[in-house]
Amino acid sequence: MRKKYPGLEVIGATEVKDLGAIKGFRERSGADYPILHGLEADVKKAYGVKGFPFFVVINKDGTIAGSDDAAIKSAVGA
């Protein structure tokens, strides 16, 4: 997404706690962004995560813009 939307900051999140598994994912996918790991149920609930992959767009002011391409375009001014 970072190539498609310049200026977009990406942070991944997963419930996986195994750093080896995360490293493997990075190598296979080419992920070049930070990944929060060991996501607990309360955090998933707060952001409405029901499964993975899932993304949330957070505006520069910290508010949630949404979780779809339109939200990304709005957040980056595209």
The helix (run of H) or strand (run of E) holding residue 22 is helix 19-29
Domain membership flag for residue 57:
yes
Q: What is the pLDDT of residues 2-44, one digit of tens each?
A: 677 666 777 788 888 899 999 998 899 888 888 888 888 887 7
Closest CA to 73 of 23, 4, 22: 4
Domain membership flag for residue 40:
yes
Domain membership flag for residue 56:
yes
Domain membership flag for residue 17:
yes
Domain membership flag for residue 23:
yes
Q: Residue 32: its pLDDT value, please?
A: 81
Three-state secondary structure call for residue 16: coil
Higher pLDDT, 40 or 77: 40
Q: Which residue range forms the structural domain that includes residue 44? A: 12-76
- Domain count of the fold of the chain: 1
